[in-house]
Amino acid sequence: MKAAAISVSPLSGVLSVGGPARRGWAFAQRLLRNRSALIGLVLLAAVLALATAGRWLFPGDPWEMAGAPMLWPGQEADHPLGTDFMGRDLATGLVSGAGVSLLIGLVSTVLAALVGTAVGALGGYYRGWVDAALMRVTEVFQTVPKFVLAVVLVAIFKPSVGTVVLAIGAVSWPPTARLVRSEFLALREREFVLAARTLGMGDARLILTQILPNALPPVVALASLSVATAIQTEASLAFLGLGDPNVMSWGTIIGGGREQVIDAWYICGLPGAAIVLTVLGFNLLGEGLNDVLNPHLRER
């Protein structure tokens, strides 16, 4: 039985009548009107442009020793952002780093979101011993220092893009799990769940088609903030030398430029600034999403 165009979703606070396309458009409009989200999106667009268009503007291998070492930004036209101590072009490195950060950040967050949602949904829906067991597991992962665990995982399983993504995903899922669990605990008592059950809907279908869509809005906001953290973690891992050795990330550049930081601080400065702007972008977007999707939680 197809639901009518009017939905029960909290997203319906945005617009209660109309098909998904119209609601999506109304939502986008509201998001763009939010100042935090707007600034965030602008920053992220810039980073995305760097990662994509940058490839075309600065082609080539970031590992290649393209010019004289330790050139300052603006010193030579060929290398507008300078070179590092091995003569590698910094602009090319930044472009590469943008791609890596976005990729790892997004994929690991999606992974963490999937795991977290599954854990939270099962615990929140079934409660009882299932919930107790899952909560204990969540507690363990929240007690262990996240970065130390990520370091251990990547170190033991040999650093590569895959292990980094898996490691970050493995340490980032608890907050999502907690959030989804509390949403499910609240939503399962609502009348539309009771109604669906009376129709004879099975558990799996109920969870996936009825409760989950309503639980997702805060998860989406949290996801944006999680990407920010994931990018920070990835940079920290790369800085410590635990990034994929074949891939140049912003953290790798900073780690490499560490020895010369006093003389040529731009080698560390530029990629670091890039990290700050990217993280800022995702943070602002996450705040904006929170404002729009959860207005009742908005602070004054």
Per CB under 8 A, 151 contacts other proteins:
yes
Residues 185 and 174: their CA atoms lie apart, in Å, by 16
Per CB under 8 A, 158 contacts other proteins:
yes
Identify which range of 18-26, 101-109, 150-158, 193-201 contacts other proteins by CB under 8 A: 150-158
Which residue from 176, 151, 202 is spatially nearest to 286, judged by alpha carbons? Answer: 176
Per CB under 8 A, 70 contacts other proteins:
no
State whether residue 44 is helix, strand or coil. helix
In the set 51, 216, 275, 285, which binds other proteins (CB under 8 A)?
275
Site for other proteins in 232-271 (CB under 8 A): 232, 235-236, 239-242, 254, 258, 261-262, 265, 268-269
Residue 30: CB minimum distance to other proteins, A: 18
Residues 167 and 240: their CA atoms lie apart, in Å, by 15
Choice between 27 and 255, CB closer to other proteins:
255
In the set 8, 149, 185, 201, which binds other proteins (CB under 8 A)?
149
Identify which range of 26-34, 49-57, 75-83, 274-282 contacts other proteins by CB under 8 A: 274-282
In the set 5, 42, 140, 199, which binds other proteins (CB under 8 A)?
140
Which residue from 114, 70, 62 is spatially nearest to 238, judged by alpha carbons? Answer: 62
CA of 118: how far to CAs of 71, 121, 181, in Å? 50, 5, 9
Beta-strand (E) ranges in the chain?
Answer: none
Choice between 58 and 282, CB closer to other proteins:
282
* Six token digits for residue 297: 């939680």
- In sequence order, what are the residues at sequence separation of 6 or more whose Cβ sits closer than 8 angstroms to the Cβ of residue 192? 8, 210
Identify which range of 52-60, 115-123, 209-217, 276-284 contacts other proteins by CB under 8 A: 276-284
Say how many C-beta atoms besides its own lie within 10 A of residue 137's C-beta.
13
In the set 1, 4, 59, 143, which binds other proteins (CB under 8 A)?
143
Alpha-helix residue ranges (DSSP H) falling in 8-71: 20-33, 35-57
Residue 77: CB minimum distance to other proteins, A: 26
Choice between 20 and 241, CB closer to other proteins:
241
The number of angstroms, rounded, from the C-alpha of 13 to the middle of its chain's C-alpha atoms is 26
Residue 264: CB minimum distance to other proteins, A: 10
Which residue from 274, 290, 288 is spatially nearest to 43, judged by alpha carbons? Answer: 274
User: Do 233 and 291 touch, CB atoms closer than 8 A?
Assistant: no
Q: Where do contacts with other proteins occur on this chain (CB under 8 A)?
A: 136-137, 139-140, 142-149, 151-153, 155-158, 228, 232, 235-236, 239-242, 254, 258, 261-262, 265, 268-269, 272, 275-277, 279-280, 283-284, 299-300
